[in-house]
Amino acid sequence: MEYVKSNLDLIGETPLLQIAEEYNHPGPLILAKLEYLNPGGSVKDRIAKFVIEKAMAEGKLKKGDTIIDNTSGNTGIGVAMVAAAYGLKTIFTTAAKTSQEKVDLLRALGAEVIITPTEAAWDDPRGCYQTALRLARENGYFHFNQYDNPDNPLAHYYTTGPEIWRQTDGKVTHLVAGIGTGGTLCGTARFLKEKNPKVQVIAVDPPGSLFADYIKTGQTGPTGTYFVEGIGSDMVTKALDPAVIDEVVTVSDENSFATARMLTKRHGILAGGSSGTAAYVAFRLAEKAPSNSVFVVIFPDAALRYLSKCFSDKWMIEHNFNLTETP
């Protein structure tokens, strides 16, 4: 009989899926890294397991302790899942724009969820980041601190990067991924560039986020609101390492959602909104890349997390988005 004793043993080793040949034939090979096949449904399961197990081994966490962090949903879900397996409690702060599916799942996993104003900036006491920081300080909770925790990118350096290198037989030429905290992209990129410095690392960012300006110029410009979840930021994170990023591309909500809806409706690939962002960039870059290029695109989570958002025709119309699946 073949089975595992814990769903934590199912984290990682996600497959690569070739994205529709009509977009890259006879040109470059475009492969999606299906992180939504992790047991908690997202790439964030990786850092949840790595950070929590490391903290427990170092005596910083023990059964019955409480973990707190701000989250756009996926990190919280991964942390809550791993925490439940180890008898830990969780509290998460999240912006009001976070999909109801994510909030409900956090609560189903036993977490306490605190909703904060979407418009509150990172340094606003009302916002999810400062609220989590304050509660951790006041109550002695373990602050997971995904934005600035060095173990965030390290988790991907030890898992995601080696998997991609092995799965592509070392032939990967381009890595395309969104920037949320910067951990997934930069940890993975660092490993791949150590193996082959010629690997091109492309970051994708929504308009209104400060990452694009910061990576290009080292300066932070004005920020605004955007609807895509899980990527973008109004603060510079320590998990971000611009030195491993070769290019950053800004993608509109319109193109992100249209690409995600196209992948789902036409090809049955259940990719979330930020997966659409990364796929959109990969498709465009592949048009000009050498035919022997191998693109790996990180798909962080699934469409099922956004049924009330970009996969709802009603929601799309209410927010003035076109229902077309052609970005």
Q: How far apart are CA 45 and CA 39, in angstroms?
A: 8
CA dist 28 to 16, 246, 263, 304, 326, Å? 15, 19, 18, 29, 20
User: Do residues 108 and 82 touch, judged by C-beta distance below 8 A?
Assistant: no
Active site residue 265: no
**217/215 Cα distance (integer angstroms):** 6
Residues in the chain: 327
Q: What are phi and psi of 31, to 5 degrees?
A: -120, 130
**3-state DSSP assignment of residue 294:** strand
Secondary structure of residue 177 in the 3-state scheme: strand
> Considering 33, 44, 89, 102, which one is annotated as catalytic?
44
Contacts of 93 (CB under 8 A, 6+ apart): 68, 69, 70, 71, 113, 114, 115, 116, 128, 129, 131, 132, 135
CA 57 → CA 11, 37, 75, 213, distances in Å? 19, 27, 21, 38
Query: From the CA atom positions of the chain, what is the Rg in Å?
Result: 19
Check: CB of residue 57 under 8 Å from CB of residue 82: no
Indicate the Cα dihedral angle 305, 310, 314, 320, nearest 10°.
Answer: 150
Which residues form the catalytic set?
Answer: 44
